[in-house]
Each structure stands twice: as structure tokens, then as C-alpha cells.
């Protein structure tokens, strides 16, 4: 653990939210999660899942993390399989015990998902259920919005607006989705939706006087089967910075006037003008001014080629100019 921490520090990295995992059985595990973890009808299985979460908190404390994300695959595949209320109560009871093990400055993020691996019901299936748990647990518990964890065409920006209003938005798992939990690169499928989410974020965070950087958990939850994961990460960061900058551009006063005058056309124009403004040079300049690269992807690819040449030719160094 200490060596992990030291290695991270060497690279200027720190640890964000810890994720517990009671959705996959581990080798040597006594009780299976085939029929759920915190919801399970057997209290020994629930006990095992609770203990695992508490162990994750303990390791997180050692790593300097300050939050725990709980995503449960608990649910049912067929009508009648589960008593919904009992499953909810068991889960709540488990989450309460985990919550009570959180250090004072920690947050708990309750992530939701509408289906998969269970296809009839999920015990934390949507933002309403997540918010129910978060409200019952207390002030350290928040709802986590994974952009891919919604049924098709859900109005995610509205969900974000209301969670912010309630002070219960914990943060994001950024990704994008065409069909379901696709874990595609954020902004690759529905960039306008992403802009509208940031529009609500900026508006809601400012209304609550929140620190844009620190008061939410900004996480990327994507999967890479066909890309270099680091390249995808660079694309993701760019894809997040752009709509954020565009949302900062929205003239809130004019938008409010349009809304209050029922000027639907003007309201749409205000938002779409910002979305259609090319802020890529501005975002690149901002990155440069804080010591980053104008074109991170090009820099990374250039370095990859350089390292490859050094390896192939057995040289100490190589100069490339891409
Ligand atoms: Mn996620």
C-alpha cells in the first residue's frame, strides 16, 4: 500500500473515490453474490458485503482518498423473485452500517443503473431510488450520476438540475452511450446533451455557491477495447473541458429574460449559439497557461513513437518532429 502511494506521489497523482465491488465473486469468497449482496436474503452474505465495503474504506484512508462509491448489481431477473421492499430495507440497513464507518470528512456516492446484470429490477435502479437512500443515510451520502446508466432518451440534465437543487449531487461518471451502459468515450455520441448537462451544472453550482473543482467528484468511467486507454483519457478530458467552457459562456441574464418572457426561440438560440461556438483554441490556450500542452494527443503520440524508436534501434535518445 505504501509503495502504491509513493509511486502515485512520484507522478503527482492522488486517489479519488474508492469503489467497492460486490458485483463479482472473488476467488476464495465464502458467500456468492449471485442473488445480490446488500439486498441478499441471507444475512451472512449481507455481512460479507458490508465487511468488504468497510475494508475498502480502511484501504482508502491509507491511500488518502476521501470518498466511497457504492455501485450494486443487486436486483432481480424475474417477477416474483424479490420482495422489493425487503430488498430495499436490507440494502438500506447495510448502507447505514457502511455509512457509519466513514471518516468524518468522507462522502459516500450511491450509483444507480436501470438494468444489467439484472434485467427485471435493480435495487438502486434510478436517481429517485439513489436519492431515497442518500436522504435516509445523511449529509455525507450523495447520488452519483453515471451518464450511461439511464434508459434511452432520459433527460439527464434535468436530473442533474434537481439533484443540485437538493444538494445531493455527488459527482459524475463521464462516458457516453448509444444504447445502454456502453461506456463509450464521453462526448463521442451526444455532445449536445453533454453541453446541456454542463449548462445545468454551472447554473446549479453557482446558485449554491459551490466550488466547481472541489465540490463534485469528476470521474471518467469508460472502457477501452479498441483504443489506447491513455489516448482515450486525453480525448475524454478535452471532451469535458469544451462543454464546460461553452456552458460558462451562456448569458444567464439573457436566458432568464427569455424564460420569463416565454421567448422559446431566444432561449434556444442562446444555448445553441454557445454550443456552436468553437472554443477549442481557447481551451488549448487555457491548458497551455497552466503548464499543459496545446495538443496533448499529438504530444503523447510523438512521445510514443520516440520511445518505440529508442527501443527498436537501441538508442539512448531520438529526436522526432511530428
Ligand atoms: Mn459508473
Digit-coded pLDDT (tens) for 244-266: 999 999 999 999 999 999 999 99
Q: Say how many Å lie between the CA of residue 111 and the centre of ligand 1.
A: 7
In the chain, where does the domain assigned CATH 3.20.20.150 lie?
2-293
Q: How confident is the model at residue 75 (pLDDT cuts 50, 70, 90)?
A: very high
* 322 pLDDT more than 90: no
Of 77-81, 222-226, 314-318, the least confident: 314-318
What's the farthest any 2 CA atoms get from each other in the chain? Answer: 70
- Ligand 1 is an ion; its neighbours by CB within 5 Å are 146, 173, 221
CATH level 3 topology of 2-293: TIM Barrel (3.20.20)
Of 126, 193, 308, which is closest to residue 134 (Cα–Cα)? 126
Q: Cα dist. 125→8, 16, 143, 252 in Å?
A: 34, 24, 12, 33
pLDDT at 321 over 70: no
pLDDT tens per residue across span 277-291: 999 999 999 999 999
Those residues whose C-beta lies under 8 Å from the C-beta of residue 7, and which sit 6 or more positions away, are: none
DSSP-derived secondary structure letter, 177: -
pLDDT tier at 1, thresholds 50, 70, 90: confident
Q: What is the pTM of this model?
A: 0.94
For residue 290, report the distance from its CA to the centre of ligand 1, in Å.
Answer: 29
- Centre of ligand 1 from the C-alpha of residue 312, in Å: 39
Contact yes or no for 169/208 (Cβ under 8 A): no
Q: Could you report the per-residue pLDDT of 82-96, keeping only the tens digit for each? A: 999 999 999 999 999
SS (H, E, C) 148-161: CCCCCCCCHHHHHH
CB atoms within 10 A of CB 218: 15
Grouping H, G, I as helix, E, B as strand and the rest as coil, residue 141 is: strand
The pairing of beta strand 141-146 with beta strand 107-111:
parallel
Amino acid at each position: 500500500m505504501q509503495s502504491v502511494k509513493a509511486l502515485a506521489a512520484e507522478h503527482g497523482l492522488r486517489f479519488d473515490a474508492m469503489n467497492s465491488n460486490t458485483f463479482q465473486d472473488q476467488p476464495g469468497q465464502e458467500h456468492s453474490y449471485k442473488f445480490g449482496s446488500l439486498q441478499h436474503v441471507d444475512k451472512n452474505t449481507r455481512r460479507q458485503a458490508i465487511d468488504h465495503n468497510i475494508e475498502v474504506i480502511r484501504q482508502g484512508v491509507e491511500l488518502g482518498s476521501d470518498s466511497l462509491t457504492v455501485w450494486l448489481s443487486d436486483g432481480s431477473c424475474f417477477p416474483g423473485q424479490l420482495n422489493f421492499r425487503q430488498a430495499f430495507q436490507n440494502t438500506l440497513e447495510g448502507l447505514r452500517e457502511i455509512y457509519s464507518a466513514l471518516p468524518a470528512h468522507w462522502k459516500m456516492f450511491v450509483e444507480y443503473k436501470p438494468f444489467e446484470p439484472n434485467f427485471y429490477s435493480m435495487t438502486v435502479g434510478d436517481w429517485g431510488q439513489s436519492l431515497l437512500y442518500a436522504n435516509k443515510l445523511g449529509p455525507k451520502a450523495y447520488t452519483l450520476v453515471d451518464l450511461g446508466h439511464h434508459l434511452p432518451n432520459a433527460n439527464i440534465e434535468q436530473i442533474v438540475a434537481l439533484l443540485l437543487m437538493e444538494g445531493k449531487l455527488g459527482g459524475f461518471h463521464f462516458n457516453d452511450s448509444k444504447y445502454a451502459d456502453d461506456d463509450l468515450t464521453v462526448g463521442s455520441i451526444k455532445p449536445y446533451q453533454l453541453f446541456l448537462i454542463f449548462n445545468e451544472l454551472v447554473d446549479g453550482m453557482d446558485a449554491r455557491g459551490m466550488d466547481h473543482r472541489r465540490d463534485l467528484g469528476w470521474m471518467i468511467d469508460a472502457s477501452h477495447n479498441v483504443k489506447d486507454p491513455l489516448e482515450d483519457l486525453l480525448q475524454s478530458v478535452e471532451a469535458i473541458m469544451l462543454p464546460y467552457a461553452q456552458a460558462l459562456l451562456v448569458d444567464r441574464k439573457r436566458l432568464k429574460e427569455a424564460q420569463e418572457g416565454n421567448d422559446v426561440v431566444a432561449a434556444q438560440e442562446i444555448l445553441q449559439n454557445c454550443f456552436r461556438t468553437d472554443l477549442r483554441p481557447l481551451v488549448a490556450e487555457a491548458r497551455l497557461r497552466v503548464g499543459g500542452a496545446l495538443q496533448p494527443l499529438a504530444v503523447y503520440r510523438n512521445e510514443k513513437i520516440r520511445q518505440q524508436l529508442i527501443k527498436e534501434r537501441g538508442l539512448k535518445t531520438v529526436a522526432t518532429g511530428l
